[in-house]
Structure 1
Amino acid sequence: MKTKIQSLFLLKAICALFVVIIHFPLAGKIYLDPLIKASVPIFYMITGYFMFSNLEEGKTQRKLLHASFKILKLILGSSIVYISFNFYIGIPCNLTSINGIIRFIFWGDNISGHLYFLTSYFWATFLLSLLSITQLRQYLPWLSLLIIGNILLGRYFFVLQDLVMDGKTYNMPVGMKNNALFLAIPCISMGYIARQWQNKLSNKQSIILLLIFFMISYMEFIILRKGLHVESLSAFTISTFPLSIFTLLSFVHNNKPLKVNFINRWGG
């Protein structure tokens, strides 16, 4: 699909701002949690929305391979910057053991936790490129169910325990839950699903569903934080993902040219 959806430039710019907010000390940020958490899944979903717009034999595989190697260059460049910075401020290198090297290759979070995003992006596009187009068409929607692993290892980790958390926060390694298998691949799959729903849902229906899941997200947030004392800001909730899907669809349905050039460039 060569036609640009101008409204997605704005959506990506907003998501980029939310990602900055996630990592920036901001008073009252915790109350923005249900909203800003949708930013990372949306980035993956936009990839799935466009990458699988036309499942042609060979063409999709080439697009995925091209994307994966482009991301690989970003990973290597970013890693060099972070390793140099860590060395400068006296943080020991985490690549001196076999386990550290393996973790860097597959999770990408031991040099800097932020690099999990690029690493999971790389492995998702690379692994999807290895599947045949027929298999992709048949199994791609089902791959979205892998997000259950992210939820259970993230904000709902207490479900796997027989102990009451007693108000204590938990810290699962970023790469264990936010990797290609449990985050990037299922979210890319959801982007493909969003494209299938695009013509089945009207603009009004998409906005209504967006507002419904926006309210559900805050209800879920209140229940987890106030009722179950789960306060981790480094994990997604169940409603994060339908909220992300209908946010994407709402922006797709409201495709209007951007008049603010710097937002267009930033989002692009």
Structure 2
Amino acid sequence: MRRGSGGTLGGKKENKAAFVFLAPWFAGLLFITAGPIVASLVLGFTDYNLIQPPEFNGLDNFTRMLSDTRLHHALGVTLVYVVVSVPLQLACALGLALLLDRGLRGLAFYRSAFYLPSLLGSSVAIAVLWKQIFGAEGLVNQVLAVFGVEGRGWISDPGTALSTLIVLNVWTFGAPMVIFLAGLRQIPAMYYEAAATDGAGKWTQFRRITIPLLSPIVFFNLVLQIIHAFQSFTQAFVVSGGSGGPSDSTLFYTLYLYQRGFGSFDMGYASALAWLLLVIIAGFTAVNFWAARFWVVYDD
């Protein structure tokens, strides 16, 4: 009994120690994550300008969205960005993962080199560099001039400004590539050997073996990259100088939310916009999970 009671006391001490070490995490969760989330939900139903106390206005912020044409435009720009850049990014990531899976020499170096853009792609420095590369006197136009092709101001042209940001997002394919490479390493080689024995070519093996067995990884990367693309902000802010220009061609949803909250000090409306974005992302995620039953294969 004493041993048992001693063990119980020891267990209680260990629990107290665990709570002490976990306390900073719980504090961060409460005051940095959960607290602001709840506060933004409350502010979404108020008229708040950061100076005067918030005033409750019911659903006015949400009904304003129906007639906010600039919000509708920002939604359209963001949807184009997500729908175009995410599939291209995943295609490039999968293609390079297939090449690296062949057992190249110096695989660790190539893997690190290709992963690096994912770490830097959302930084201010890379966005500034991208603005210079696609500027009127940038590297892209200098390369085109070598072949006698007259360049343009890719960033300052409403027809191509969004495309430069799409290229930037595609360039950050490193993270999904590493995940694809890990998934490819888990596919048993005997499947390919049996298919080759039956006369299946490389393309048939890719369609019948690689894609089905890799579909859970594709689904995982798809969900993560869609969420990440909807949250893109830094690139558009730096390239357009915070305006979303030219002609609102790079006006991402998050950038418009920032303009309303910290440009117009309409924090109540910005909070409502943030919750609308949450609903949109949740909707896309739910649709992906629903559609996954038709194409994702889990090898039991």
TM-score by length of structure 1 reads: 0.30
Give the TM-score of the pair, scaled to structure 2.
0.28
Q: Which of 1 and 2 has greater Rg?
A: 2
